[in-house]
Amino acid sequence: MPPAAPSPVAIALWAVELALDREVALAEIAARSGVSRFHLSRAFGAATGISLIRYARGRRLTEAARHLAAGAPDILAVALDAGYGSHEAFTRAFRDQFGLTPEALRARASLAGLPAMEKITMDQNLTVPVAPPCVVELPLMLIAGIGERYRWETNTGIPTQWQRLVPLLGHIPGQTGMATYGVSCNADGAGSFEYICGVEVTDFDRLPADLARIRLPARRYAVFTHRGHVAGLRATVYSIWNHALPASGLVHADAPDFERYDARFDPRTGHGEIDIAIPVK
């Protein structure tokens, strides 16, 4: 039996290490990984908890910092080797990453205590079995609830966001049914995305101004199912984006994806079944 193909994230990590001497574009790494930019962004964030572009930039600057801590005499040469066109641009990026200038780090002669971006090695234990998806055509859905913007590094606020939604359930104007949705949408190229937890509604006309809303047009989805405790959802999502979806032969469409929690899931115990709907072409 041939070995399993490497995941898109494993290929992306390899590609980043090959490009430590220059700024690398998300589109270039996605092309190497064989998936779309959005697919790779979601897969990488699910696997590592950080955006791909932030990781790549952090790796370049960390390797540059190692040279400086070792006493490299020419800061401009280090900047050029890291793909920065000027001392000024390098210093700005360096200060953003480490909170001090290249000169200060060279004088310090150590990376101890600094937020260095070390090379990530994928933990194969994160991969779990995922059944093939059910491909369905879903109608237009209007979702309303609470929305917040996150980076992969700051998405620990999502559970609190769900807690804020609970008192609103059954009281959102136009709510239809008791199923709840967690929609990931409006992503940008830097790893930022919006997460809306809410319910389906008949219209947006009566909603309070402070509620977030999103229109999900009728389209085709690959629907995977997570079974077990919600604590294992991250491993299922990682396995979907890095293994199950590529293995299905389906091509991801650049559109919002969502989780759906219905009567099969018990929020009191955290056990049950959760559907993960991925838009496909």
Q: What is the CA radius of gyration of the chain?
A: 22
Confidence band of 3 (pLDDT split at 50, 70, 90): very low
* 203, part of any domain: yes
Average pLDDT of the chain is 90
My answer on whether 140 and 193 are in the same domain is: yes
129 assigned to some structural domain: no
Cβ 242 vs Cβ 4: under 8 Å: no
Q: What is the CATH number of the domain that holds 154?
A: 3.20.80.10
19 — pLDDT class (breaks 50, 70, 90): confident
78 and 178 assigned to the same domain = no
What is the percent of the chain where pLDDT is above 90? 65
Q: Are residues 52 and 99 in the same domain?
A: yes
Same domain, 271 and 186: yes
Helices and strands, number each (H, E), in the chain: 10, 9
Half-sphere exposure (Cβ direction) of 137: Cα atoms closer than 13 Å: 1
Judgement on whether residues 101 and 142 belong to the same structural domain of the protein: no
Compute the distance between CA of residue 142 and CA of residue 217 in angstroms, rounded to an integer. 8
Count of domains observed in the chain: 2
Report the pLDDT value the prediction gives residue 123, as an integer from 0 to 100: 61
Residue 162 maps to a domain: yes
CATH number reported for the structural domain that contains residue 98 in this entry: 1.10.10.60
Residue at 2 is within a domain: no
**Separation in Å, CA 36 to CA 30, 40, 168, 272, 279:** 6, 6, 36, 31, 13
Average pLDDT over residues 259-279: 94
1 has pLDDT over 60: no
Question: pLDDT tens-digit profile of 107-145?
Answer: 999 999 999 999 887 665 678 899 999 999 999 999 999
**% of the chain residues with pLDDT over 70:** 96
Residue at which a domain ends, from 70, 91, 108: 108
Q: Which residues, 6+ apart, have CB-to-CB distance to 184 below 8 Å?
A: 42, 193, 194, 195, 256, 257, 258
Q: What pTM was estimated for this model as a whole?
A: 0.74
Do 166 and 269 belong together in one domain?
yes
Domain that holds residue 269: 134-279
d(CA 71, CA 107): 8
Q: Has residue 3 been placed in a domain? A: no
For tokens 């047009």, the residue is 217
Note the pLDDT of residue 2.
39
Of the ranges 25-34, 66-75, 135-144, which is most confident?
135-144
